[in-house]
Structure 1
């Protein structure tokens, strides 16, 4: 059901967005609330010339920001509607957008990547074992994996059996079930380690500041030294 939901969502947004190119966002966001948490600096220093891929890029906001910062960026998404949004607004930035799923993309190339990012994207929307292993195979020795997912404790309790099914509303008022992999932080660490990577940071981000429970889990990892 997930691709159908996002295609319907993208069609509605395209019909209501001003046509033509947009300026890339000034800041990279890892959460659903602008200005909360870190930005692109967690990818490490100057991004000029670095090869980066965003898995599940959606409308392309993050991909466009990274391209504007000088990186060579590909945004990957399995939703054709989201790709139409990304190309309509951000193709001029130099970013490249590909309509394919994350595993197919990672498995079809051999060139090393300097960073792989996922912002509420492909990582977290499927069982992570194969996807994290594919990320590990494509990262350079100093490459960074950074991904944010809805915090598994955002409602106060962590689901015992992933995936979690949540109800999302389409623009016409109808609803569909979306699946996401809500697993506790220790399980994410073990999954990253099994993929051959080492977790370097795990941020429990709250938004807004008075929220009782964290809303976003942001994880960074790299190849072992």
Structure 2
């Protein structure tokens, strides 16, 4: 219940995705916390006929872009506010959206996917020892798992507290997240049976902000 409230709160605070990006496109894929920066959907290697799952789809911007590639796009989020926002903006995109939790969806789903991805989403906020085996079972042989989030703070690894602020008169809500260095992510994925695991920190774009983005990719 606390986590659901936290993500509903986050939905209210997170600004809407712009109508178009710098290239004038109405849909696009963004792995990083910076606009018009970093690689795109090519990381997933999907196209017409592919089945793609997003873990923690938020307001659906990345998932909507997946539909333009001719792929079946499925996403879920714990927050009803996020799901409603995604459905309202991308009504005609043809996405399949669910309000649920990551491990529950993966345990209950009978569908297999060519790619599973998470952008600052459920992979960051779920114990990888629990989540990764479930993801691997839902991926077709050779399927891609890719995810991104902020890099770990030096010396702060494993389960951490992540705070979601509310009003000035309310204490922040707390959810758990899992932070690891790139080399540790590669080892964890290998231990869970994934192959060709690679993890790297994408530098921030030129400007005052210096925190990059961790991008991880592996095959089932």
TM-score for both structures, normalised by structure 1: 0.84
Say whether residues 1:102 and 2:102 are aligned partners.
yes
- Residue 8 (structure 1) shift: 2.4
Closer, same or farther: CA 67–88 of 1 in aligned 2, 3 Å:
same
Task: State the match for 2:212 in structure 1.
Answer: 215
Checking the alignment, whether the CA contact within 8 Å between 2:27 and 2:62 is kept in structure 1 is: no
Whole-Å separation in 1 of the counterparts to 2:105 and 2:174: 26
Gapped runs of 5+ residues in structure 1? none
Deviates more, 1:207-216 or 1:144-153: 207-216
Q: How many residues align?
A: 211
Distance change >3 Å, CA 213–CA 186, structure 1 → 2: farther
Give distance in 2, aligned partners of 1:67 and 1:158. 39
Corresponding residue number in structure 2 for 1:70 = 70
Structure 2: runs of 5 or more not aligned:
none
- Contact in 2 for aligned 1:53/1:113 (Cα 8 Å): yes
Matches of 1:178 and 1:113, distance apart in 2: 28
Distance 2:61 2:184 in 1: 29
What's 1:189 paired with? Answer: 186
Deviations along 1:16-52, one digit per CA (max 9) or x if unpaired, are 97xxxx78843200011022211001112x5111000
Greater mean alpha carbon deviation, residues 138-147 or residues 174-183: 174-183
Q: Is the 8 A contact 1:28 1:62 kept in 2?
A: yes
How far apart in 2 are the matches of 1:213 and 1:199? 28
* TM norm structure 2: 0.86
CA drift of 1:212 comes to 8.2
Corresponding residue for 1:8? 9
Residue 215 of structure 1: how far off its partner (Å): 2.4
Partner Cα separation in structure 2 for residue 203 and residue 211 of structure 1: 21
Aligned pairs (5 A) from 1:1-225: 1-11=2-12, 25-44=26-45, 47-153=47-153, 157-160=154-157, 162-170=158-166, 172-173=167-168, 174=170, 175-209=172-206, 214-223=211-220
CA distance in 2, matches of 1:32, 1:95: 23
> Cα offset for 1:210?
5.6
SS of the residue aligned with 1:130?
helix
Secondary structure of the residue aligned to 1:165 is strand
